Amino acid sequence: MIGKYHLRVRSKVCDFSLTLDRKYTLIQGDSGTGKSIFTDLVKQYSRYGADSGIELTCEISVVSLISDTGTWDTDTWKEKLNRYRDAIFVIDAFDPCIREYEAEFSELAENSQAYFIILSRKTFSALSYDTDSIYEFVSVANADRGKQAYTVKLMKVYRDKMKNKFENIPHKK
Amino acid sequence: MLHLYIGESEKALRAPNNWFMNAFPREYLETPLAREIVQGIDKSVLESRNAVLSPYLGRVGIDKLSTGVRQTLIACFTDKVVDLVHCGDNCLTYIKKRSVDKDIYVTTTRYVNLFSKKDTVSVPVIIDNNGKIVNSFWEYDDEFDKFGGGL
């Protein structure tokens, strides 16, 4: 799978619109920016589809690694990773695949053709991503009442904020 | 004092979100410090033990508090160990401030800068891996290199 994919997830309150141009998209950043809300929306959509009331638009399928009953089991996530070839997988910081089974997950992910959105601050040494793949969420309030209250977009951490990061490190005496 | 263990630790809570909802003593949510933490991180007003007024979601239950706020509240008010991988950089100020009058134990599985110049609060940190007390960024960075090379 190559190329750009646009993903939009909308609920009554939030409107997430993401453009993915690489295999891995890591979303980090401060607490309270909407990472858990985003994964929660995708999980709900993954389980109940359009009946969940969530509007999810993307050229290819967007999948969370939970099982159909909403729980986690080792066979399901491995089976899902193998089954979906052209898909975007959304993985949360608390998902066992990146906590207990990181090595197995890394191997399967590297061999997979799918795209991955990983919402964790951890460093994944076995995945081939670079600094351009690391983003954080920025939210913009909408004044228009007919629209969702907030639109959330991605911002590159190491292009837009690199200068500030270096400024935060004190000089060695 | 702030105790930091670098690397994976079995003492850290595995499911802090669930622990917060099921076992966190709710009376702490009525303290000024809890209100300050929720205001500072989530930009929300903690109205009572159960309700939060959020600019994003309106009036909601405390189950809608962010993961970072929950971790910070657990670290600041109980003796449980939390992993800083689930706390954003905006949570560290509150944890550091609280560590002046309480022993706080945290672990980390990500690179975290506890001596950022942006932060006005600077407190000594005990590295629990070897018991060393660090007071500045460069001492801290050396210790982090030793124990958290891959992070």
Contact A89, A105 (CB under 8 A): no
Contact between A168 and B90 using a beta-carbon 8 Å cutoff:
no
Helix (H) or strand (E) holding B134: strand B132-134
Residue B117 CB partners (closer than 8 Å, separation 6+): A167, A168, A169, A170
DSSP string, A129-141: --GGGEEEEEEEE
Amino acid at A86: D
- Report residue A26 as tokens: 């890591």
Handedness of CA B61, B21, B69, B28 (dihedral sign): positive
Q: What is the mean pLDDT of chain A?
A: 83
**Which CA distances in Å does A124 have to A19, B2, B50, B143?**
22, 27, 37, 21
- Specify the pLDDT at position A155: 80
- Specify the pLDDT at position A167: 63
**Model pTM?**
0.87
Exposure class string for B56-81: b at 16+ Cβ within 10 A, else e? bbeeeebebbbbbbbbbbbbbbbebb
Look at the block and give the residue holding tokens 């509240």.
Answer: B73
- Specify the pLDDT at position A170: 65
Handedness of CA A107, B88, A10, A45 (dihedral sign): positive
- Report residue B136 as tokens: 């500045």
Contact between B68 and A150 using a beta-carbon 8 Å cutoff:
no
Per-residue pLDDT of chain B (151 residues; tens, 9 = 90+): 899 999 888 899 988 999 999 999 999 999 999 999 999 998 899 999 999 998 877 889 999 899 999 999 999 999 999 999 999 999 999 999 999 999 999 999 888 889 888 888 889 999 999 999 999 888 988 888 888 877 7
Report the gap between the CA of A91 and the closest CA in chain B (Å): 14
- Specify the pLDDT at position A153: 81
Nearest residue, CB atoms, A30 vs list B71, B72, B88: B88
- Report residue A145 as tokens: 């009442």
- Specify the pLDDT at position A2: 86
> Can you list the positions of beta strands (E) in B8-84?
45-46, 51-54, 58-61, 82-83
- Report residue A59 as tokens: 């050229």
Q: Is B28 strand, coil or helix? A: helix
- Report residue B80 as tokens: 């449980």
- Specify the pLDDT at position A161: 57
B17 touches chain A (CB under 8 A): yes
Amino acid at A108: L
Q: What is the CA radius of gyration of chain A?
A: 17
- Specify the pLDDT at position A95: 85
Secondary structure letter of residue A155 according to DSSP: E
d(CA A22, CA A16): 18
| Residues of chain A predicted below pLDDT 70 | 67-70, 143-149, 159-173
Nearest residue, CB atoms, A31 vs list B17, B67, B117: B67
Q: Is A21 strand, coil or helix? A: coil
Rounded to 5°, angle at Cα A93 from A92 and A95? 65
With an 8 Å Cβ cutoff, the interface of chain A facing chain B consists of: 13-14, 29-36, 93-94, 120-123, 125, 139, 149-150, 167-170, 172-173
- Specify the pLDDT at position A151: 78
Measured between beta carbons, which residues in chain A are less than 8 angstroms from residue B115?
A: 170
- Specify the pLDDT at position B28: 94
Helix (H) or strand (E) holding A84: none
Contact between B115 and A170 using a beta-carbon 8 Å cutoff:
yes
Secondary structure letter of residue A171 according to DSSP: P
Burial grade of B114 (CB within 10 A; 0-12, 13-18, 19 or more): buried
Look at the block and give the residue holding tokens 């004044």.
Answer: A143
